Every structure is written in C-alpha cells, then in structure tokens.
Amino acid sequence: MMQILSQLFSQRFRTFTALIFVLANGLLAELVYAADGATRPNVILMMADDLGYADLTCYGSEVINTPVLDKMASEGLRLTNYYAGCTVCTPSRMALMTGAYPARVGWRGGVGGYKIKPQNGLAAEALTIAEVFQSTGYKTAICGKWHLGEAQSLLPMNQGFEDAFYITKSNNQTKKLYRGSELVMNPFDNRRLTEQFTSEAIKFIKANRASPFFLYIPFTAPHFPAQAHPEWKGQSSQAAYGDVVEELDSRVGEIFAAVKECNLDQDTIVVFTSDNGPEPGQKKWARATPYRGLKWSSLEGGNRVPCIVRAPGRVPAGHTSDQLTAAIDLLPTLAQACGIDLAAITTGHPKIDGVNVWDTFSAKHNDQHAREDLLIWHGWGVPQAIRVGDWKLYLDVEKELAESEKGPVLINLIVDPAEKNNLSDEHPEKVEAMKRLALERIREIETNGIPLGGPAENDPSDTKRGRWLN
C-alpha cells in the first residue's frame, strides 16, 4: 500500500512540477516580449519531401515555376548554404525535431519501415521543438508526414503536438491517414494529400488566431510516387514531379493568404525547407545543380537544400546568406526569436547540437556567425564527412569519389561545388585538423547519446565511424 501511495504521489508531483514549469516559462517569454512592446510571434515550419536544391525558381530552376516561394524569398531570407538534418527522411526529421544530430538520439541508419522497425523511432524522452513551444503556452499542431515511429508512445500526440493530422511514414509505405489516434482515411488519395494537409493547416491557423502557435507542416510532396492533383495535371514541363511541386508552391500561397486574412502576417515567422535532396528514382526531373549527389548520399546534392525564412519586421526582405547553417539550428534559433529560454527547460533530453543563428537571420552582421562546422551522415548511418568553413573532408569511402578508397578526400566547396578535386595532398595539416575535430565531435555524441524509442535496438555508445577515422 505504501508503495502504491508513493508512486501516486510521485506521478502527481511530476505532473504538478511540469505544470508549474509550463506556466513559469510561458510567463517569462510573455514578459520578455511585453518589455519590448512586441507580440510573441507564431511559427509555421514547412518542409517538402525530397525537394532538390535547384527545384525552385529562386534557387535556379528554369523548368519548374514557383512564384509563391520566389515571392517569399524576395520578402525574407534565402539561405544558400543550408543543410538538412540528414540525407534521408527519418533521421532528417529527428534532427529537425530535436536540434540534435540523429546519431545522438539513437539513429544508426535507414528510415522507418526500411531498416528501422515500426515500433522504433524518436524516443519519448527526446525534447522536441513542439514540446519546447508547448512549454511556453504555444498551441502546437502537425499536418503532414511524421515518420518517427508508429508505436502509440512515439506518435506526434506524445511528442508535443496537441493537434495531429498525419500519415505515419512515407506516402509509398502506407495508405492510412490519421487525425490523432483516429483512422480517417484508408486508403488516402495520394494526389490530394498536399491539398488535405494545407486545408487542415489553415483550419488550425484560423482556430488559433488569438493565441501564439507553432505549426509544423511536413508535406509528402514531391516524394515518390509523384501523382499530380487533377487540377495541376499537365501544368508543368517536368511531368508529374513538376506538377506536384507547382501545386505545393500554390498551396503555400493559400497558407500565406490565411495568415493575412487572420491579420497575423506581421506576427508570424514562416520557414520553408526540404528534408533531403532528390530521390534517385526522380533524378530525371529533380535537380540539385550545381551540386552532385542524391538522397542517401553525403555529396552536397544529398542534403544541401533550399531554406527560406520570412518574418516581416524581424528578417530583412530580399536578404541572402551563404553562411553555413543546418536544420539542427532551427530549434534554438526559433526559440530565441520567440523569447524562449532553452536553458530553463530541464525536462526531456536537453543536449542539442544546433546553434542559435538568429543574428544571421535578422542580418545583424556585427556578430560572428554561430556555426563553424557540421558533421554529415550517409543515409546508412556513417558520419561520412565534416564541413569546416568552406572545406569539406570525407572521412569514409564515397562511391562517387574514387580517391576516397585510398584515404580522406578534401574538397574546397567554394571553387569546386561539384566535388571533383581532391586537395588532401596539398593541405595535409588541414586534413589532420578536420579529422581530429570530427573524432572529438563523434566521441562526445557516443558519450551523451540516447537509444531509439521502443524496443532496444542499439547501444547509444555504438556510433559508427568513417573508415579514415578508425
């Protein structure tokens, strides 16, 4: 009996403590904004699926028309040196949600449903960006693709999202569409998913116009199979792939229209990006020019992707930045923009690898850019490269770089964006310095990682290393 009473007390104490934390952190954020006479901004984070670096007109496409996203770029910030969280779906989403390298939260390669079992995914104890915003009183929602685990404890409703309209994995892996725990469509119509996710997002915006909100929209477009919506079929010169991207652009316009209709335009930060580079099966239409490499690959085309940030009055219009930036930076950066003190959050797994780059987003050029280096993983879980400034060092064999069979390959991305010239023999001291830094970063992850959620699948200390680090 005493043990049962003790457990009940412990559970209630934790609930009470969590409630006090939410109220206190939310009040602190309100006071920060009140002191400046400003409104706490809403955040809309949109992510396309397998959209290549050069698939938008504002990033160089000459065959796909994207007037809405082009306008968004002209009214905000266009990042040209931005890296997705990884080169494939699941780890890329882990990174975006947690601000951590996916290896830190237990990923060892593959995606949900393809090496990663459905009952495994992002651990519940990992602190998500939705939980960060929810802790300060924000309303939170997801409308789109989850792909971070299918077990009940791993679903978005248990990871900080109050509202959830989603599919559990990629549109080629499932036909089931859910609202919360309720199955609402089986099978769904793949041609209309972008329309449905957009419609649900707009409903959420209108229903929560009076309170700050965090809205995550991970579209399934243009992930294969690309199937055009009836109203967009044949509109593009790039077959169904182009039709799907052009529809996606138009749907983003509908979301902006809803924001303006609710008089939230000046109080909303909108981010648009992609989870990785083009899918190999779609390389006939998708583009990552001038970069080589596709989804799964650690070459630049695999995970250097578009990223546009629009926040009137906070982010200058028509601004372009070539500073090294990554998906893991969005959590601390958006928290800073919204007055959220991450240091005050003690629940969950607080260790993150992202850095706050809000000064770069807001064009405060007097401050040094916060990110100096970045580890880059292959889709099968090997930390294959490290980026430091303009330099990239391959730490493992990359099949498209023949010289990587013999040793590390050093690339200067400024003069060689296609990654064809190995400069390791000319700069041996740089090779050694970058190897040491990579090993230091990987060892720290090995020491402070957590396993995947669900049944034990791996040892968090068993992080893979590239051949030239072993």
Q: CA 456, 460, 462: angle at the middle one, nearest 5? A: 110
Is residue 70 within a helix (H) or strand (E), and if so which, with residue range? Answer: helix 67-74
Please state, in angstroms and rounded to a whole number, the distance separating the CA atoms of residues 49 and 288: 14
| DSSP track, 439-462 | HHHHHHHHHH--PPBSS----TT-
Q: Which of 234, 345, 301 is nearest to 54 (CA)?
A: 301
| Count of CB atoms situated within 10 Å of the CB of 26 | 19
- Report residues of the chain scoring pLDDT below 70: 1-38, 365-367, 457-462
Q: Which of 148, 145, 289 is nearest to 223 (CA)?
A: 145
| Count of CB atoms situated within 10 Å of the CB of 228 | 19
pLDDT digits (tens, 9 = 90+) for 9-58: 333 333 334 444 444 454 445 544 544 446 899 999 999 999 999 999 99
Give yes or no for a contact between 88 and 311, defined as CB atoms under 8 angstroms apart.
Answer: no
Three-state DSSP class for 93?
helix
Give yes or no for a contact between 434 and 88, defined as CB atoms under 8 angstroms apart.
Answer: no
Q: Which residues contact 426 (CB under 8 A, 6 or more apart)?
A: none
Give yes or no for a contact between 379 and 396, defined as CB atoms under 8 angstroms apart.
Answer: no
pLDDT at 175: 98
Give yes or no for a contact between 324 and 372, defined as CB atoms under 8 angstroms apart.
Answer: yes
pLDDT at 24: 45
pLDDT at 11: 38
Query: Which pair of tokens denotes residue 293?
Result: 């490499």
Q: Which CATH number fits domain 19-361: 3.10.20.30, 3.90.79.10, 3.40.720.10, 3.30.530.20?
A: 3.40.720.10
Measuring CA to CA, how many Å separate 461 from each of 111, 367, 450, 451?
20, 36, 8, 9
Domain boundaries, the chain: 19-361, 373-469
CATH of domain 373-469: 3.30.1120.10
pLDDT at 457: 66
Q: CA 351, 383, 155: angle at the middle one, nearest 5? A: 50
Please state, in angstroms and rounded to a whole number, the distance separating the CA atoms of residues 435 and 37: 48
pLDDT digits (tens, 9 = 90+) for 356-367: 999 999 998 666
Evaluate whether 19-361 and 373-469 have a shared fold: no
pLDDT at 369: 93
Q: Which residues contact 239 (CB under 8 A, 6 or more apart)?
A: 226, 284, 285
Give yes or no for a contact between 395 and 435, defined as CB atoms under 8 angstroms apart.
Answer: yes
Give yes or no for a contact between 382 and 455, defined as CB atoms under 8 angstroms apart.
Answer: no
pLDDT at 364: 84
Please state, in angstroms and rounded to a whole number, the distance separating the CA atoms of residues 262 and 254: 12
Q: Which of 126, 146, 304, 125 is nearest to 216 (CA)?
A: 146
| Count of CB atoms situated within 10 Å of the CB of 307 | 26
